[in-house]
Amino acid sequence: MSAAQTIDLGALAQKRLALLGNPNCGKTALFNRLTGSQQKVGNYAGVTVELKRGLMKTAAGRSVSVIDLPGTYSLHAGSEDEAVACSVVLGRSLQERAPDLTAVIVDATRLRRGLRLAAALRRLQRPLLLVVNMMDRVRAQGRELDLARLERAMGVPVVEATGIVSHGADALRALLDRPDLWQREATATPVAAAAEPEGLNSEAAEAEQDDAQAHAWLAEAGLDQALPHHAWSRRLDTVFLHPVLGSLVLLVLLFLVFQAVFSWAEWPKGLIEAGAAQVGQAVTALLPDGLLRSLLVDGVVAGAGGVLVFLPQILILFFFILMLEESGYLPRAALLLDRLMGGLGLSGRSFIPLLSSFACAIPGIMAARTIADPRARRVTMMIAPLMTCSARLPVYALLIGAFIPDQEVWGLKLQGLVLFGLYLLGMLSAVLLAFVLKLLGRAGEPAQLMMELPDYHWPRSKDLLIGLWQRATIFLRNVGGIILALTVVLWFLSTFPQAPAGFAGSAIEYSLAGRIGKLLALLFEPIGFNWQIAVALVPGMAAREVVVGALGTVYALSQTGDEVGSALAPLIRADWSLATGMSLLVWFVYAPQCLATLAVVRRETGGWAMPATITALLFSLAYAAAWLTYTLVSRWS
């Protein structure tokens, strides 16, 4: 390195690099490769809706702060997530200092669209470099890109990368050690702007100028011929994007997923149940009868063990969701549903937040930032809770296993059919609610969906394993943290005050929990809920999974002798009517959201009006649907 290139190592340690690019350009995968993070990635818009920060090491071992920005197609924000990216890059954010350097990440198979962002930054004389990502896909088509010519044409550093392979970011790491890189400004002469047509606003004129600049760069570098899409991707799209065939494929895929949730989970569930039973028996044998043994056996083991048993079903569900994400199918599903969404006053862009809500309503509500229309965004947030989140799956699995026979109908598992029906009920209810809100709200044309469709490809096993591990970690953290804590609190309320000698009935009925439950049972009696269910619903406001553990604790303390160690399903099957079981199942289709979800809604909307509206609406829907179910089943059974 020459004297002119001597670098201030202390200054470099403070430098900030922003990653900017279109949705679906592999930006977050590259961020993970640079920083060693394991952020959620996906090949559709809406995955990254907030800033992600990390620390990377250059080839020389220097520290650089890296910011992963939400995807955007221009520097004129059309939605709230794009506004986050634009404000940071342009130095207008009140929370973030402007980056010292912006790396524009472009998809090697779709250069022109990505280069428009680079042209906009250069027009504004912002320090930048170009990272041509996904070079492996170009070479898989038997082609090479002359990036040296592109660098000469643009007048800014250009480097290749492949964010999904181990050494795919090495060239970028080495480039970031160049001392001149952090002070440079784009100085190449831009293409002359086209004459602005009469009536064309400045934003459109700038977009036209940036597109012309991108085309000129590509022509000068000999890269103005677009790469062809995979032929088999086009052939698959003739089926998956067909209005009739595509809809049938989507419905069949969802149906098969819910069949697998019950069919594949039986063996691992049996192992977990046996393990929990052995732990309970071991603790019972080691400790004398008393409060400590009751806390551990009836509180911790009965509560946490009752929830852990449903981990296999949650992982099976997420395995299929990740497969659909990674394969490139989900953007097609969004495009397929765009016409239906338009009839509800929404657009296909609402599909991504709603799909995310099947995991948890929190990321789904946050992903609604990608929706530009404020009304469509609010409606999406209101119906997102009706998408059945994974926290409800343990409750569904418990009640279906207790009240629905384990038999086949036309060669299909009846329990899987019921689970599919519950998910379908939630989705249809969301559609109906959105339609009603459209009729009650202002009329307007829904925004047209514009979404880039990636080529189909086989999911990478590493990405699948990381996604499943993250889901399992989140679930286990809830079991070990919130659920365990609430279970212990519930055990305390269910144990004290202790019943006096000669008290008729179980000890829990004399406790605080029993008294609270019997008061709440007056409210829930018309829909068939007993006081044990009423007690379990209270901690369920913090986390849905807690309901199963709470029922395990309540019923463990409600039994005597050998019945304490019995499985929960037989206990509730003996104690509840079929109408009560079905009523509780339907209640959880609409059940009011957990407190964490309502807190996120408040943060996203800036007030309590929307959380209060969602709570009142969903409670009313849950109560009405549960009452109707209880009444009908009671008459027919």
Residue whose structure tokens are 């400790």: 287
DSSP notation for 154-184: HTS-EEE--TTSTTTTHHHHHHTT-GGGGT-
| Higher pLDDT pick, 567 / 281 | 281
Structure confidence by residue, pLDDT tens digits, 346-401: 766 777 788 778 777 877 787 787 777 788 888 989 999 998 887 788 889 889 98
- Given a contact cutoff of 8 angstroms between Cβ atoms, the answer to whether 351 and 329 are in contact is no
CA angle 352, 619, 612 (to 5 degrees): 75
pLDDT at residue 581 in the model = 95
Report how far residue 260's alpha carbon sits from residue 114's, in angstroms, rounded to the nearest whole number: 40
Write out pLDDT tens, residues 127-184: 999 999 888 777 877 788 889 999 999 999 999 988 667 677 888 999 998 888 876 5
- pTM more than 0.75: no
Q: What is the pLDDT of residues 409-449, one digit of tens each?
A: 877 889 988 998 998 999 899 989 988 888 887 544 555 55
Q: What percentage of the chain reaches a pLDDT higher than 90?
A: 19
Is the per-residue pLDDT at 564 higher than 60? no
How far apart are alpha carbons 412 and 457 in whole angstroms?
Answer: 30
pLDDT value at 189 more than 50: no
Return the closest-CA partner of residue 17 out of 122, 185, 186, 173: 173
Nearest to 216 by CA among 155, 160, 154: 154
Judged against a pLDDT cut of 90, whether residue 265 lies above it is answered with no
Mean pLDDT of 29-48: 65
| Domains along the chain with CATH numbers | 3-220 (3.40.50.300)
Round to whole Å and give the CA distance between 341 and 288.
61
Closest CA to 302 of 484, 542, 575: 484
Per the DSSP assignment, residues forming a β-bridge with 21 are 105
DSSP 370: G
> Which whole number is the average pLDDT over 44-73?
79
Q: What is the residue-averaged pLDDT of the chain?
A: 80
pLDDT of 601 higher than 50? yes
Q: Indicate if the pLDDT at residue 599 is higher than 70.
A: yes
Tokens of 604: 């996203």
Q: What is the DSSP string of 567-625?
A: -HHHHHHHHS-HHHHHHHHHHHHHPPPPHHHHHHHHHHHTSSHHHHHHHHHHHHHHHHH
Alpha helices in 290-383 (DSSP H): 291-294, 302-308, 311-327, 330-336, 338-343, 351-356, 361-367, 374-383
